[in-house]
A and B are shown apart, each in its own frame.
Chain A
Amino acid sequence: MAASAHADQVDLLIGTFGVLVALLTIPIFVLETVFAIRYRTSREADREHAPVGSNWLEFSWAGIPFVLIVGFFVWSTSIFFQIHRPPPEAMQINVVAKQWMWKFQHAQGAAEINELHVPVGQPVQLMMTSRDVIHSLFLPNFRIKQDLLPGRYTSLWFEAREPGSYDFRCAEFCGTDHSVMGGRLVVMQPEDFAAWLERHSEFGASATLAELGEKLFRDVGCSGCHGPASDVNAPQLAGIFGRPVGLSDGTTIIADEQYLHDSIMLPNKHIAAGYPPIMPTYGNVLEPEQVNALVAYIRFGAPVRKEPEFGAPLRKRREQ
């Protein structure tokens, strides 16, 4: 049932902690029963010198379990840090949740609903957002979940160990059809996955996500101000991703997915220094999926993305 190294670690943690829990609870149950029998009122027993308190006892039964549990806290927190540090070679997939379906956008251009295909042995990072209410992507076999918020990116990463099909479910109550908002994660051999991507591209989605973004960039009018030929005083966006941007209030911010998203949907949230705040909001114009495409375009530029990015690290892994 455990489908990743992380899941094994969580199982081990829960199992070991379960032993501690048993060690802390069983004495209570046993003592309660023993006392209830031995000191029941109909029975003669030694009731002399019954203690009414002991500081020594109090501090030890408060302190010793606490110290043991803090040990588990350190262990569990270190695992938690790992799931918030995706490996740099992780393959990125965008996820948009809405009432009541899951949409996945591969950088290579394939898009799918309620089904996600990924290669085995490859770290996958999901960049997730929601179109309406809060949802939560729960992969029980991987022992992970993460809420998806409207207007904000959250992320989740995993690395599947075995090819196969694994359920995912929505774990945050999201309205009427919450309990049927599920889907299937299909883990494939890398060559099968490459073939799947290829096949999928033949059916219409002929462009990479960044190419879709490039088209949008022209269609919705971004290029009118941000394009190279524009004479409007607007920031140039090539190469901006991941770099610090100076803001008009004197602070700087890293131009990540969230910053680019906010600059498109809520342009008054962060004003780039030296530019007049004339950017119109696209909050009512663009869907989160389109914003993802625009971000991919700004990040990678269109033509670069023909070669699937996951290929290089994948080959390296297989050689090991």
Chain B
Amino acid sequence: MTAAAIDTEREPEDIERTSYLRAGYSLRSWLLTTDHKRIAILYLISITFFFAIAAVAAALIRLELVTPEGDLLSHEGYNRAFSIHGIMMVWFFLIPSIPNTIGNFMIPLMIGARDLAFPRLNLLSWYIFMVAGLFALFVVLAGGVDTGWTFYTPLTTMYANGAVVATVLAVFISGFSTILTGLNFIVTIHKLRAPGMTWSRLPLFIWSHYAVSIIFVLATPVLAITLLLLAAERIFGIGVFDPSLGGDPLLFQHLFWFYSHPAVYIMVLPAMGVVSELVTSGAHKKIFGYWFVAYASIAIAVIAFLVWGHHMFVAGQSVLASTVFSFLSIAVAVPSAIKVYNWTATLYKGDIALDAPLLYAMGFIGLFVVGGLTGLMLAMLAIDVHVHDTYFVVAHFHYIMVGGSVAAFFGALHYWWPKMTGRLYNEVLGRIAALLMIIGFNLTFFPQFLLGYEGMPRRYHVYPPEFQVLHIFSTAGAGMLGVAYLMPMFYLLWSLRFGKRAPANPWGATGLEWTTSSPPPKHNFTEQPVVIREPYDYHLAHPRSRENG
């Protein structure tokens, strides 16, 4: 992509000496760093921690559901388990997952910048995130809450048990971290692109992060306001949502989903950006329909704000409103479909190496397609009336968020691991983990579509015995999924010490991040990169296409 691969020819000792990882060993040099790469690592460690807490909650849920009776947890304990699971996964893992780790690390490298536009603001957003995380941790240690991650009123304001206000504060505070990150990304993408890095040459990863930043900045304040109103009603009894105080309970749902539906796209847009990179690199081929994929991200970010009412088809919303939201929800599927078809077409006549990143990416495409099309079923009013608030919905959004976003997160972690750490991971183990994840995921969540259609409501601690067989399948799959998630933790960490030293461009990929050393020097590039080629400019003279790898 650039005139010359700037840093690929340097000696290992030289790379080692200037690596960002060697720019200070003290705790202070990490905790007060303004280097976007180090902040990305801080985020990676923190979200892994929160992921572990949420995963333990998920394990409790799945174990409890092996039998129809409630034998492991009390009713209240179960409700707290799924509440912690949802709150932790959504706000402390999924929303920051790709943007704040991979995005934080890669955006400056991909556009040829030395850092994000506001490095200190970037550090501040990590600290804000950690303050929020401490509140969340306090909630867990204080015994949790039973509000569910959706905080519906008047349940949350008047009836819920546990550390409700601390939970609301945790989510409220984490929002500021999100807003600052979004602001930082938007300014960086506008102002810090290297010479020659025009908008038409931006990697699609950057396009999708630009789109998600728009949502960060526009949607998160609505959540903040809503949560403040919620806390005000809970603490001071100010009637906003509770009808017995003159409030309107549906108002909360409108405000909440006005944020939380776009938040679904917060979780999936960065994943789509990752998949565009992984598919082109894995197929060693230019993306099919660059502009369609790029503008699809923007279209999703815009339409995402107009579909929130599809969460409220049976909530007491007017029939007319439901009809309009149903139609708009079908419309939002179009840009997603465009992306999927373009990724598939990119594989055509490619030079495909089925390494772990591409396996994860193909897993994403398959699972996202199932999640997306069952989402279309849910957008159909008459179908939603039946399967709303059942396991069908649970399966649907896990296909999007776990099958989709988490798969892409793991794909991204594998793909850029050599760049981030300077080490190669064990490819065989990587492929096994990726396949295990795809199989385990389907075994966990496909039975839940059937459960939902047969009438198993979500958030049920005890359930009618006829659902047991499918629940056992689901729990078995969850065990498999757990192994698939634990494996990378071990072999990736192992590679840090024992892995082979990574070359600058182990995949033979295009993109500015591969023109600097692995790991990159403190200021990313030793000289200013200049972009003179189109994105994904792979040379398809097989088999030489991978030669520089």
| The 9 A-B residue pairs with the shortest CB-CB distance in the complex, in nearest-first order | A140-B455, A151-B243, A80-B381, A50-B349, A79-B382, A35-B347, A76-B380, A143-B386, A179-B460
Is the CB of B133 closer than 8 A to any CB of chain A?
Answer: no
Is the CB of B142 closer than 8 A to any CB of chain A?
Answer: no
Is the CB of B314 closer than 8 A to any CB of chain A?
Answer: yes
Chain B residues with Cβ under 8 A from A99's Cβ? 159
Q: List 6 A-B contacts (CB under 8 A).
A: A13-B380, A25-B370, A32-B344, A58-B338, A173-B79, A266-B246
Is the CB of A88 closer than 8 A to any CB of chain B?
Answer: no
Instruction: Report Cα–Cα, A141/B454, bound state, in Å.
Output: 8
- A-contacting 9-mer, from B217-225, B350-358, B510-518: B350-358
Is the CB of B388 closer than 8 A to any CB of chain A?
Answer: yes
Is the CB of A54 closer than 8 A to any CB of chain B?
Answer: yes
Main SS of chain A's interface residues? mixed
Closest to B373 in A: A21
Instruction: Report Cα–Cα, A134/B464, bound state, in Å.
Output: 22
Among A32, A151, A169, A172, point to the contact of B455 (Cβ < 8 A).
A169
Instruction: Report Cα–Cα, A144/B386, bound state, in Å.
Output: 5
Among A1, A25, A150, A175, point to the contact of B243 (Cβ < 8 A).
A150
Closest to A143 in B: B386
Interface string of A132-170 (1 = CB under 8 A from B): 111010101101111101111010000000000001011
Instruction: Report Cα–Cα, A27/B348, bound state, in Å.
Output: 13
- A-contacting 9-mer, from B195-203, B279-287, B416-424, B472-480: B279-287
- B-contacting 9-mer, from A62-70, A210-218, A293-301: A62-70
Closest to B156 in A: A133
Total of A-B residue pairs, C-beta within 8 Å: 260
Instruction: Report Cα–Cα, A69/B333, bound state, in Å.
Output: 10
Chain A residues with Cβ under 8 A from B283's Cβ? 35, 39
List 4 other contacts, CB 8 Å, given A17-B376, A70-B327, A77-B326: A28-B340, A76-B383, A144-B386, A266-B246
A interface residues, how many (CB within 8 angstroms): 80
Instruction: Report Cα–Cα, A220/B120, bound state, in Å.
Output: 66
Closest to A155 in B: B316
Closest to A33 in B: B362
Instruction: Report Cα–Cα, A52/B287, bound state, in Å.
Output: 6
Instruction: Report Cα–Cα, A189/B283, bound state, in Å.
Output: 66
Q: Within the complex, what minimum Cβ distance (angstroms) separates A268 from chain B?
A: 9
Q: Say yes or no: A73 contacts B540, CB within 8 Å.
A: no
Is the CB of A9 closer than 8 A to any CB of chain B?
Answer: yes
- A-contacting 9-mer, from B8-16, B146-154, B168-176, B257-265: B146-154
Which residues of A from 114 to 128 have beta carbons under 8 Å from B?
A: none
- B-contacting 9-mer, from A40-48, A193-201, A240-248: A40-48
Is the CB of B523 closer than 8 A to any CB of chain A?
Answer: no
Chain A residues with Cβ under 8 A from B429's Cβ? none
Is the CB of B31 closer than 8 A to any CB of chain A?
Answer: no
Q: Within the complex, what minimum Cβ distance (angstroms) separates A32 from chain B?
A: 6
Is the CB of A10 closer than 8 A to any CB of chain B?
Answer: yes
* Known contacts A25-B369, A167-B464, A36 near B315 by CB under 8 Å: no
Interface residues of chain B, those whose CB is within 8 Å of chain A, are 70, 75-76, 78-79, 146, 148, 150, 152, 154-155, 158-161, 242-244, 246, 249-250, 283-292, 313-316, 319, 322-323, 326-327, 330-331, 333-334, 337-338, 340-342, 344-345, 347-354, 362, 365-366, 369-370, 373-374, 376-377, 379-383, 385-386, 388-390, 453-455, 457-464, 540, 542-543, 546
Q: Within the complex, what minimum Cβ distance (angstroms) separates A21 from chain B?
A: 5
Q: Say yes or no: A70 contacts B383, CB within 8 Å.
A: no
Closest to A69 in B: B330
Closest to B358 in A: A36
Is the CB of A221 closer than 8 A to any CB of chain B?
Answer: no
**Interface-central residue, B152, B243, B246, B353, by most chain A CB under 10 Å:** B243
Is the CB of A318 closer than 8 A to any CB of chain B?
Answer: no
Q: Say yes or no: B352 contacts A133, CB within 8 Å.
A: no
Chain A residues with Cβ under 8 A from B458's Cβ? 171, 173
Q: Within the complex, what minimum Cβ distance (angstroms) separates B476 from chain A?
A: 22
Instruction: Report Cα–Cα, A174/B432, bound state, in Å.
Output: 42
Chain A residues with Cβ under 8 A from B464's Cβ? 167
Is the CB of A14 closer than 8 A to any CB of chain B?
Answer: yes
Q: Within the complex, what minimum Cβ distance (angstroms) separates A34 from chain B?
A: 9
Among A132, A136, A179, point to the contact of B314 (Cβ < 8 A).
A136
* Known contacts A66-B330, A73-B380, A80-B322, A175 near B155 by CB under 8 Å: yes
Instruction: Report Cα–Cα, A76/B379, bound state, in Å.
Output: 10
Is the CB of A275 closer than 8 A to any CB of chain B?
Answer: no
Instruction: Report Cα–Cα, A54/B287, bound state, in Å.
Output: 12
Q: Say yes or no: A61 contacts B337, CB within 8 Å.
A: yes
